[in-house]
Amino acid sequence: MTRIGIDAHVLVGKMQGSRTWLVNVVGRAVARHPDATYVIYSDDPVRAATMIAGANVEHVRLPRVPRALRLLAVWPWLVHRDRIDALLTTYIAPPLVPGARQVVVVHDILFETHPAFFAFGMRWRTRLLTRISAKRARLVVTISRYSRDSIARTYRIDPDRIVEVRCGTSPPRTGAITRSPIRDGRPYLMMVGRLEPRKNLALTLDAFARLTPGAARLVVVGKPDGENPETLARLSSMADVVHVAGIDDRGLGDLYANAAALVFPSAGEGWGIPVLESLALGTPVIASNVTAIPESGGDAASYFDLDAPDRIERLAALMQAAVEGRLPFDAARARAHV
C-alpha cells in the first residue's frame, strides 16, 4: 500500500486559504483512494483528526524544533521511519528525503509578483526557498491558472510539471443567528478575510462612505494581520460599520446567506475562497478584476477595475446597486459555478 506523507502544519495557527485547500483536497483524496495510506503530520494531531479523518489516515505529531532543523533532519528521519513513498509539503520542501517522491504545493507567489505587501525578510527567505523547492520537486501543485502561469514564468519551470488543483469549497453551514451583529433590518454588505493591506479594506471603507447615508451597513469579518493602524481606526469609528473579529462557522454562513453582497476588492489572490463561499450560498459577489479572482468568481460575480483612476466610484456604484437589489446576479448560475 502506498504511503503518502502530508505536511499539515497549516492546520494549526491562523486561519488561511492554505488550510482550507489542504482540508478539502486531502479529504477528497482520502475518500477516493482507500488503497493509499495518508500520514498527516501536524503540530496538533488531535485537532487535525477533526479536520481530516478516515480509516486510511494516520496522524503524527511534528517534533517542535526550529524550522531549519525540521527541514534538514526531521523530515528525512520521519520519511524513513514511517516508510513514506511520496511527501507533499507546502511552499518549502526538505532538501533531502531519500526514497520518497516530493510534491510541493505553491498556492501563489504573490511575494514575487506583489512584493510591496510582504516584509523584506519574509520576502527574501520565501523567494529563495520556494524557488529551490519548486525546481527540485517531482511535481508542483498550485490552485489556479494564474498561479500556474506565474510559477512557470518566474521560476522557468516546464508548465507540464505544474498541476492545477483547485480548492473548491465546503460552504459554511447556516442556521438561526443567535448573536447577530445586524439587528436593525437594513441590508448589509460584508467583507471577509484577514485584515491586511493587500485585502484593500481602506478602499472598501472609502467606497462605503459614498453610499446613500444610512441606507446600509458594512460588516467586516476578520482579525487584524498587519493592517495599517489608521485603517483600523477608521474601521472602529465609521458609522454603520461593524467589525466582527471572530465568528463560528454557522454564524459566518448566516452572514453570507443574508448579505446583499460580498465585497472582495483584494489586490492579489492565488484563488479567493470567500468568493466561492458566498456564491455557494447564493449571495452576490463584488470583486476586483486582478490575479486569480476572476477565475474564482467566473461569470457569476460582478467586477470592477482595480487599476482605474475612479476605482472608488466604480466600487461604490456596485455596492449601491447591491444594496438596492439592482446588481445583476443569477443564484442558480452562481451555485453551478461553485
Q: What percent of the chain has pLDDT over 70?
A: 95
Please report the domains of the chain, with CATH numbers, ordered by start residue. Answer: 3-164 (3.40.50.2000), 188-337 (3.40.50.2000)
Judged against a pLDDT cut of 70, whether residue 132 lies above it is answered with yes
Distance CA 303, CA 289 (A): 6
pLDDT at residue 20 in the model: 87
Average pLDDT over residues 37-41: 98
Residue 159 DSSP code: G
Q: What is the pLDDT of residues 263-273, one digit of tens each?
A: 999 999 999 99
Average pLDDT over residues 45-53: 95
Judged against a pLDDT cut of 80, whether residue 119 lies above it is answered with yes
pLDDT at residue 185 in the model: 82
Q: What is the pLDDT of residues 1-35, one digit of tens each?
A: 899 999 999 888 776 778 889 999 999 999 999 99
3-state SS class at 254: helix
Q: 296, 271 in Cβ contact below 8 A?
A: yes
Distance CA 7, CA 70 (A): 11
Q: What percent of the chain has pLDDT over 90?
A: 81
pLDDT at residue 177 in the model: 45
pLDDT at residue 43 in the model: 94
Judged against a pLDDT cut of 80, whether residue 179 lies above it is answered with no
Q: Which of 91, 11, 16 is nearest to 273 (CA)?
A: 16
Average pLDDT over residues 133-160: 96
- What proportions of the chain, in percent to the nearest 5, are helix, strand and coil? 45, 20, 40
The average confidence (pLDDT) of the chain is: 93
Judged against a pLDDT cut of 80, whether residue 175 lies above it is answered with no
pLDDT at residue 15 in the model: 67
Please give the full DSSP string across 205-223, using - where no structure is assigned: HHHHTTSPTTS-EEEEE--
pLDDT at residue 327 in the model: 98
pLDDT at residue 176 in the model: 47
Distance CA 108, CA 186 (A): 38
pLDDT at residue 178 in the model: 44
Q: What is the pLDDT of residues 278-288, one digit of tens each?
A: 999 999 999 99
Judged against a pLDDT cut of 90, whether residue 131 lies above it is answered with yes
Average pLDDT over residues 290-302: 97
Does the reported pTM lie above 0.95? no
Distance CA 74, CA 309 (A): 51
Question: CA angle at residue 142 from 331 to 139, to 5 degrees?
Answer: 145
Tell me which of 50-64, 95-109, 227-241 is least confident: 95-109
Q: How confident is the model at residue 97 (pLDDT cuts 50, 70, 90)?
A: confident
